[in-house]
Structure 1
């Protein structure tokens, strides 16, 4: 059959709604819930990386499998200085059917769906959509893609010409907002089983993935070992140096804050946590905070408080 008119757009809108606009991951079974005009329609490949339904002229979706911490995730080193995402061909043959499917999506300027694996048992995927193929880099056997809305597509993106620095900055920002941040959040919250490391709050809508070392720093890697699940209060307190975490996973509260007299939020939410161990940590040791990152962050906490630590 030919590609049904409107299916691609309906699938992307449905996925946005189901994922709170790309914020929450979905399991394979949840992705299978998609219906088009009342009938079930499979959006994701279960075997190959690229999904080109029978009869379709162009690919519909592609996926990146989950990798455990320490294993290279295929996309991590393939974000160029231009902000574009690189996705490798399937095999070496440019005329392999799935490669032709992605190439045709580029030629027709069709939006694609990207499923990025963030967990196993069950498999969970962050949904990045829409994604547009900007060009094919034949010498590297890969495609270059932009995670932007159709209204943001610019002619310069599609021509392969040298991009203006303002466009590069825009694409880098969009890649961070629409790819790195949601994937990082889902990976960290999954590792902590949706519990705040500091207070054990278990409502994911109220949780963030806090960077131990900011991603703008040299040590600030985009990995679960540089993250902790924290409720919004404790995330803000951590970033503002009201709260520090020692390398041995013990919470420290700034000394002057311990002496302050205020309401129950300060008393129960911060002061009573001083000297207590973190309440939640990943079960897998490979997903726990890296020691050197905790040491770095705690030194910054002490410097920011001028050593004013109880």
Structure 2
């Protein structure tokens, strides 16, 4: 959906081309794009237009207002430079650059808010990988807390929903909520896969498109937080088997296949895909901070032992 301004305006043309570029790239590569793709961007009138810069708030020289805001990925063991999260109003919180509300980058975002200009939100997943979300709009400015509130919109929904201010706000709050949930799921997946070097902890399969981030304690469990110490990188087969208590992980990090499944005879897939891994060691990251938490393993293994098919 094009940005609805004058089509001969350079700012409008650049933003529309940026959104089209992101659509093409995510269709080709999936939701997560490399920093290099965003840095290379596209050409416009013989000039390279990048969609990410060295700072969080980025404005290409050819246009007067920022085109993107970027959140740094969480790296375990390090503090995040800016604490961007969902606020009590259901919108994304985006921290000012620095502590001066009049810094030119903060002023640029404030002007984008006043003019209702659409932006790109590059959500950092792991170092070097981002989920671009567009269009997003700066909805509120909170100088006292050095924070902007950012709303995600859906161009297709905007064609069928009410166009009054209340309708737009409600739609954007809903879309932001849905997108935030998806971002948290993607964060968990990519951080777990990065910790496990994109391989299944049981069978060592390395095809990332066939890997999942499995919760050790289910996400509905009181301690089932989407954090790396509560995660295992598993292939599709072993993830499904783990969730259904066909495969268990003992606290000593050995695989245990459920007894009735061990006794089955059902061809080579059962034998090689499951039964052969009984008592096999589980591969885990070297860094202690990334390893499965012992408490989680013990509780999950007890759930496996208590399960009755």
Question: Which residue of structure 2 lines up, in the alignment, with residue 149 of structure 1?
Answer: 154
Moved more, 199-208 or 9-18: 9-18
The structure 2 residue matched to 1:79, chosen from 86, 91, 104, is 86
Question: Which residue of structure 2 lines up, in the alignment, with residue 61 of structure 1?
Answer: 68
Question: Which residue of structure 2 lines up, in the alignment, with residue 97 of structure 1?
Answer: 104
CA distance in 1, matches of 2:24, 2:301: 39
CA deviation map 1:211-241 (0-9, x unaligned): 2223333212222222221111111111122
CA distance in 2, matches of 1:228, 1:127: 26
> Scaled by the length of structure 1, what TM-score is found?
0.82
1:41 deviates by 1.6
Q: Is the 1:3–1:57 Cα contact (8 Å) retained in structure 2?
A: no
CA distance in 2, matches of 1:43, 1:265: 46
CA distance in 2, matches of 1:243, 1:218: 22
Q: 1:218 to 1:187 in 2, by over 3 A?
A: same
1:94 deviates by 2.5
**Equivalent residue of 1:116, what SS?**
strand
CA distance in 1, matches of 2:260, 2:39: 53
Alignment of structure 1 residues 252-263 onto 2, 5 Å: 252-263=256-267
CA deviation map 1:180-228 (0-9, x unaligned): 1222222221222211111111111111111222333321222222222
The structure 2 residue matched to 1:202, chosen from 193, 198, 206, is 206
Alignment of structure 1 residues 1-310 onto 2, 5 Å: 3-20=10-27, 23=30, 25-37=32-44, 39-46=47-54, 48-54=55-61, 56-73=63-80, 78-120=85-127, 123-152=128-157, 155-156=165-166, 171-177=176-182, 179-278=183-282, 280-305=283-308
Q: Is the 2:249–2:255 Cα contact (8 Å) retained in structure 1?
A: yes
Q: Is the 1:224–1:288 Cα contact (8 Å) retained in structure 2?
A: yes
**Number of residue pairs matched?**
295
> Scaled by the length of structure 2, what TM-score is found?
0.82
Q: Is the 1:188–1:227 Cα contact (8 Å) retained in structure 2?
A: yes
**Equivalent residue of 1:56, what SS?**
coil
- Point out where structure 2 has 5 or more consecutive residues left out of the alignment: 1-8
1:300 deviates by 2.1
Q: 1:71 to 1:222 in 2, by over 3 A?
A: farther
**Equivalent residue of 1:6, what SS?**
helix
**Equivalent residue of 1:194, what SS?**
coil
Q: 1:244 to 1:115 in 2, by over 3 A?
A: same
**Equivalent residue of 2:40, what SS?**
coil
**Equivalent residue of 2:201, what SS?**
coil
Q: 1:265 to 1:105 in 2, by over 3 A?
A: farther
CA deviation map 1:130-149 (0-9, x unaligned): 33323223432211123342
- Across the aligned residues of Structure 1 and Structure 2, the Cα RMSD in angstroms comes to 2.9
- Point out where structure 1 has 5 or more consecutive residues left out of the alignment: none
CA deviation map 1:108-136 (0-9, x unaligned): 3333222333334xx33333333332322
